[in-house]
Amino acid sequence: MNIKVISTTKTFKTLNSSFKACDEVSLDINQGDFIAIVGYTGSGKSTLLSMIGGILRPTSGSIYYDSFKISDASQSDITVFRREYFSYIFQHPVIIPNISIIDNIVMPLIFKSEITNEKIEEVKEYIDAFGLKSKENMKAGLLSGGEMKKVSILRALAYGCDVLIADEPTNDLDPKTIKVLVDIFNSINKKGTTIIMVTHSHSIASQAKTVYEMSNGKIIRTLK
C-alpha cells in the first residue's frame, strides 16, 4: 500500500490566534519504506503522524492510502481501515492499568480474530526480548514509565500490520531494549512492513532508509 500526503496543513486555533503545526507537507511513502522524521520539539512531527494515522483531520490537503482518502473518510471507516492496515506506537504510552501486561498486548488482536497459540508464542518471545518475562502477568498499571512504553510498543508489534507508525518509540527505553527494538524494526521492514518513525535520535533515525527533517511545520530537507 502506498501513502500519499499531498500539501497537508494542520492549523490549531486558540482563542485569538491560529498556529500552523503542519504547513503544506507533501510526502510519498511506498510499501516497504522505512522513513524517519527528526526535528526540534514542537516542529510538527506528532501532528503529521496523527494525520497520517487518521487521528487528526487535516485543515487542508489530502492523505491517501492507495485509493482510500483517509483525510476525508468518516470516523467509522477510518477505524475499520486502521484495524486492518496499521499499528501505532504513540509518543505517550497507552495502557489499560487494571489488566495484565500480556492482556494489554494481545487485546487488540481480538479485532483481527488472531489470538492463536502461535501468536501467543510470538508475543511471549517479544516480551522476553524486552525483559518483561517475569512480569507478564502483573497489572500494567504497576509498571514504571519505561516499562509502560515497552508494553505499548509490544502491543503495536504484536498487532503487526502493513504499516507501523512509531512516534518516538525509543524514548524512555534503556540502550539494550533500544537495540532489540531497532533489530525488530529492521526485521519486520525486511519482511515488507512500512515504518514511519519519529525520533530525536539521529543514530536511531539513521537505521531508516530515508530521513527527513521537520522545522516549523515543514519538511525542510532530506538528510538521508
Ligand X SMILES: Nc1ncnc2c1ncn2[C@@H]1O[C@H](COP(=O)(O)OP(=O)(O)OP(=O)(O)O)[C@@H](O)[C@H]1O
The residue ranges that bind ligand X (CB under 6 A) are 12, 19, 21, 39, 41-47, 91
Kindly state whether residue 193 participates in binding Mg ion, applying the rule CB under 5 A.
no
**Is the Cβ of residue 46 or residue 87 nearer to Mg ion in the bound state?**
46
Query: What is the residue whose three cell numbers read 535520535?
Result: 201
CB distance 80 to 93 below 8 Å: no
Interaction mask 75-94, Mg ion, x per CB under 5 A: ----------------x---
User: What is the radius of gyration, based on Cα positions, of the chain?
Assistant: 17
- Rounded Cα gap, residues 176 and 164, in angstroms: 21
Min separation Cβ 47 and Mg ion, Å: 8
Q: Which does 113 bind (CB under 5 to 8 A by kind): ligand X, Mg ion, none?
A: none
Q: Pick one of 8, 43, 46, 189: the residue that binds Mg ion (CB under 5 A).
A: 46
**Is the Cβ of residue 29 or residue 217 nearer to ligand X in the bound state?**
217
Kindly tell me the burial class for residue 196, based on how many C-beta atoms sit within 10 Å of its own C-beta (0-12, 13-18, 19 or more): buried
Q: Which does 47 bind (CB under 5 to 8 A by kind): Mg ion, ligand X, none?
A: ligand X
Q: For the residues of 41-74, what is the DSSP string, one character each?
A: TTSSHHHHHHHHTTSS--SEEEEEETTEETTTS-
